[in-house]
């Protein structure tokens, strides 16, 4: 066969990059667990009607077909790959409600797929790390704060630049739009959501076209969207626009609570930004957008959804936030912003004096592994210089030389050249060498 070529939109990392991703996913997982979120996973596929039930026509869903489908077998008709982890989670909650304990806190770190047109920075396959809390019937507002605290903690524990979480509340926008006399607040929201793409004039035109806004109404919408504050002072600026509506009041009170409480526990991370709309239709209150300062790009987001999971009289309001792991890594890899101390987990290479020494080398490796030290045995009994080069090329810091009947084993730090006697039952590397370490570029270990 000929050499295969990449598929646009389906990223694959090199081993060094995958080592970084693995460490970062582990770090996110550990933080989510520290915040009491339980691991969960849903299947990759959903019935198409589930995927589209909130009118997600903008999501380009991948449908599945069996290559060898039997005519008339309905068992896999109309299945699609999920495009996020919230819709499958809501379905999971409804399906298993009788066996879950509420409030239910879970994290989910999985791939999702979107049949986007191929373009720069758009992935067709990507990994997300989500946390959500759902409860039965009602879900207190403090959960809107808790998911932000957990996400901010996860992001601050990673060797990535500080992030900014912009937050808004759908009730503020919808109440405001209603208060200025727009009869279709959802259409107005969709128009304002395009501010980044279309600019103020484009949005004003779209507001006129799709929401029937007058020039004054469009200006009011844009004025609301222009308000950003790091504290609760956005309330005064909204009030100064002279609009009153009960839903607006409710939204402002919620947003104040979220901004103030997060400001107390993770200062400097969360700001109120009344232009944040989030594309997805299912949000009903708080919304978040996680941005990497300097990139202008979103690396995650989320919000409150009070009606996504409901069946008959059962209703499970939820709130969640999602970190776009692939998006974040794609940005950072593009800037060479992260390095890993070695692309392999191996800490020690056991060298072979000759091929007959392999069983003894396996026994040394087993002893080291039992004590948590990742160890490989040299693939060949080449000259020691070549075996050391094998380790060096992979960044393996230690080479172990088995002794013979006269002399004991020795271990060499191939970075410093230091070599000394060692016993596989007691020797340990410094803690910093035990696992590959990820660092922001420029601060890598020399």
Site residues (CB under 8 A) for its own copies, limited to 64-83: 64-70, 73, 75-76, 79-81
Residue with tokens 């080291």: 368
The CB-of-43 to its own copies minimum distance in angstroms stands at: 4
CA gap 288, 302 in Å, rounded: 5
The CB-of-239 to its own copies minimum distance in angstroms stands at: 26
Q: What is the 3-state secondary structure (H, E, C) of 236-272?
A: HHHHCCCCCCHHHHHHHHHHHHHHHHHHHHCCCCEEE
Question: 210 or 310: whose CB is closer to its own copies?
Answer: 310
Cα separations in angstroms, 22 against 13, 325, 326: 11, 11, 11
Question: 52 or 241: whose CB is closer to its own copies?
Answer: 52
Question: 222 or 253: whose CB is closer to its own copies?
Answer: 253
**Per CB under 8 A, does 27 bind its own copies?**
no
CA gap 176, 179 in Å, rounded: 5
Task: Pick from 24, 28, 61, 213 the residue near its own copies by CB under 8 A.
Answer: 61
3-state secondary structure of 354: coil
CA gap 42, 48 in Å, rounded: 15
Give Dmax over CA atoms of the chain in angstroms.
94
- Candidate ranges 141-149, 182-190, 230-238, 423-431; the one touching its own copies (CB under 8 A): 141-149
The CB-of-97 to its own copies minimum distance in angstroms stands at: 8
Task: Pick from 228, 310, 339, 439 the residue near its own copies by CB under 8 A.
Answer: 310
CA gap 395, 171 in Å, rounded: 54
Cα separations in angstroms, 57 against 60, 192, 277, 281: 7, 18, 17, 10
- Structure tokens that stand for 42 in this block: 């849903």
Q: Which runs of consecutive H residues, i.e. helices, occur in 98-213?
A: 142-156, 170-179, 185-192, 195-211
Task: Pick from 128, 168, 322, 375 the residue near its own copies by CB under 8 A.
Answer: 375
The CB-of-420 to its own copies minimum distance in angstroms stands at: 23
Residue 132 near residue 86, CB atoms below 8 Å: yes
Task: Identify residues 163-222 at the interface with its own copies (CB under 8 A).
Answer: none
The CB-of-242 to its own copies minimum distance in angstroms stands at: 34
3-state secondary structure of 16: helix
Site mask, its own copies, residues 381-410, x = CB under 8 A? ------------xx----------------
Residue 21 near residue 160, CB atoms below 8 Å: no
The CB-of-24 to its own copies minimum distance in angstroms stands at: 11
- Candidate ranges 178-186, 212-220, 279-287, 309-317; the one touching its own copies (CB under 8 A): 309-317
**Per CB under 8 A, does 2 bind its own copies?**
yes
Residue with tokens 């990994």: 127
Question: 290 or 348: whose CB is closer to its own copies?
Answer: 348
Task: Pick from 189, 207, 247, 377 the residue near its own copies by CB under 8 A.
Answer: 377
The CB-of-16 to its own copies minimum distance in angstroms stands at: 9
Strand-pair category, 104-113 with 125-134: antiparallel
Task: Identify residues 110-139 at the interface with its own copies (CB under 8 A).
Answer: 111, 113, 115, 117-118, 124-125, 135
Task: Identify residues 234-273 at the interface with its own copies (CB under 8 A).
Answer: 261, 264-265
Cα separations in angstroms, 207 against 217, 378, 435: 9, 67, 54
Task: Identify residues 341-370 at the interface with its own copies (CB under 8 A).
Answer: 343-346, 358-359, 362-363, 366, 369
Question: 33 or 236: whose CB is closer to its own copies?
Answer: 33
- Candidate ranges 143-151, 219-227, 294-302, 415-423; the one touching its own copies (CB under 8 A): 143-151
**Per CB under 8 A, does 22 bind its own copies?**
yes
């Amino acid at each position: 066969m000929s050499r295969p070529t990449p598929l646009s939109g389906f990223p694959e990392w090199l081993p060094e990059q995958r080592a970084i991703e693995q460490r970062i996913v582990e770090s996110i997982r550990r933080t989510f667990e520290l915040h009491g979120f339980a691991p969960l996973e849903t299947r990759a596929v959903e019935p198409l009607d589930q995927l589209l039930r909130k009118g997600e026509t903008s999501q380009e869903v991948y449908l599945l077909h069996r290559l060898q489908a039997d005519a008339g077998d309905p068992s896999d008709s109309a299945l699609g790959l999920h495009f996020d982890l919230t819709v499958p989670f809501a379905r999971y909650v409804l399906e298993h409600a009788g066996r879950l304990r509420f409030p239910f806190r879970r994290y989910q770190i999985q791939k999702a797929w979107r049949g986007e047109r191929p373009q720069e920075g758009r992935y067709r396959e990507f990994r997300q790390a989500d946390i959500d809390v759902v409860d039965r019937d009602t879900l207190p507002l403090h959960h809107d704060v808790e998911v932000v605290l957990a996400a901010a903690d996860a992001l601050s524990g990673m060797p990535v630049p500080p992030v900014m979480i912009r937050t808004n509340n759908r009730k503020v926008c919808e109440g405001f739009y209603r208060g200025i006399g727009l009869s279709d607040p959802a259409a107005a929201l969709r128009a304002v959501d395009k501010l980044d793409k279309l600019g103020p004039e484009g949005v004003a035109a779209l507001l006129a076209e799709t929401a029937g806004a007058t020039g004054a109404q469009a200006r009011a919408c844009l004025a609301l969207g222009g308000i950003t504050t790091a504290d609760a002072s956005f309330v005064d600026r909204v009030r100064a626009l002279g609009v009153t509506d009960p839903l607006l009041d409710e939204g402002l009170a919620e947003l104040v609570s979220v901004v103030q409480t997060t400001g107390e526990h993770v200062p400097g991370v969360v700001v109120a930004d009344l232009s944040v709309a989030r594309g997805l239709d299912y949000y009903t209150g708080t919304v978040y957008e996680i941005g990497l300062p300097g990139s202008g790009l979103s690396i995650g987001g989320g919000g409150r959804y009070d009606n996504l999971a409901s069946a008959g009289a059962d209703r499970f309001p939820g709130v969640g936030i999602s970190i776009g792991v692939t998006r974040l890594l794609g940005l950072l890899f593009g800037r060479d912003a992260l390095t890993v101390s070695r692309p392999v987990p191996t800490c020690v290479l056991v060298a072979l004096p000759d091929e007959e020494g392999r069983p003894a080398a396996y026994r040394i490796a087993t002893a080291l592994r039992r004590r948590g030290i990742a160890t490989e045995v040299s693939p060949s009994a080449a000259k020691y210089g070549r075996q050391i080069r094998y380790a060096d090329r992979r960044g393996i810091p230690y080479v172990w030389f088995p002794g013979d009947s006269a002399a004991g084993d020795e271990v060499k730090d191939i970075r410093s050249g230091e070599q000394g006697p060692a016993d596989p039952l007691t020797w340990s590397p410094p803690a910093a060498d035990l696992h590959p370490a990820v660092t922001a570029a420029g601060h890598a270990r020399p």
